[in-house]
Amino acid sequence: MHIRLINPNTTASMTAKIGEAAARVAAAGTQTSACNPLAGPVSIESHFDEAISAIGVLEEIRRGETENIDAYIIACFGDPGLLAARELSPAPVIGIAEAAFHLATLISTRFSIVTTLGRTCIIAEHLLQSYGFAHHCRRVRAAEIPVLDLEDDGACALDRIIEECRRARDEDGVGAIVLGCGGMADLTAQIRDAVGLPIVEGVTAAVKLAESLVSLGLQTSKHGDLAFPRPKQFTGHFDYLSA
């Protein structure tokens, strides 16, 4: 099987990191590849960033459909464009936040999330409500680091993430911690060793879920709202989407 990981931002170093994390956990016989859009935000830290990045995600799904990709992973914790992406392909499409929430509930009755900036805590809370996991999550915490600090100042960023994870362990009464950014994909083992709790990271969680769905022959339902979009005319610079 071939799993395509889509980093919705345009930072190539983060895309490479995501691809390496996926390859480390993929089963023998699973091919993984990672890509990012050519245009869009260099990092995703707001509703606006997510809205812009969703177009790039959908373009990568359309490209993947010409390459016989078996499953897709949207490797941003906001899961931008997830439902629209599911409309475009019968292959499973998994967002890393939804994947991490699912796996965290299988190993602990309560978890906390540690993410980057405080403003993105609200986005994570919206996802928890939408996906039905709000009652499992005790708290969404921010290490107050810009996403690109994970690329340019990894050591300092790691220390701040570990510090916030320890606070979650000591103050929140949780059994597991979810990492709230795809850019943390290479930090799981270090954080787990420093904190002493199960650490659920969404990129790797999504890879194993994608493998499971493909192995079971489960595809995205094309009955109801996730059916392929109705052919129609698009105008202006979206004319290329017309069918």
**Please, what are the domains in the chain?**
2-95+205-241 (3.40.50.12500), 97-202 (3.40.50.12500)
pLDDT at 158: 94
DSSP states along 21-38: HHHHHPPTT-EEEEE--S
Q: What tens digit of pLDDT does each residue of 71-93 get?
A: 999 999 999 999 999 999 999 99
Give the separation between CA 196 and CA 204, rounded to whole angstroms.
19
Cα–Cα dist 191/163, whole Å: 9
Q: Which helix (H) or strand (E) holds 202?
A: helix 202-215
Question: In the chain, which stretches have pLDDT less than 70?
Answer: 153-155
CB-based contact 4:73 (threshold 8 Å) = yes
Identify the pLDDT of residue 153. Answer: 64
The pLDDT value given to residue 243? 87
DSSP 119: H
Q: What is the pLDDT of residue 152?
A: 80
| Dist. CA 65–CA 41, nearest whole Å | 24
183-209 pLDDT, tens digit each = 999 999 999 999 999 999 999 999 999
Torsion of CA 19, 176, 126, 60, to 10 degrees: 10
Q: Is the pTM of this model over 0.85?
A: yes
Query: For residue range 158-177, what is the model confidence (pLDDT) as tens digits?
Result: 999 999 999 999 999 999 99
How far does Cα 221 stand from its chain's mean position?
21
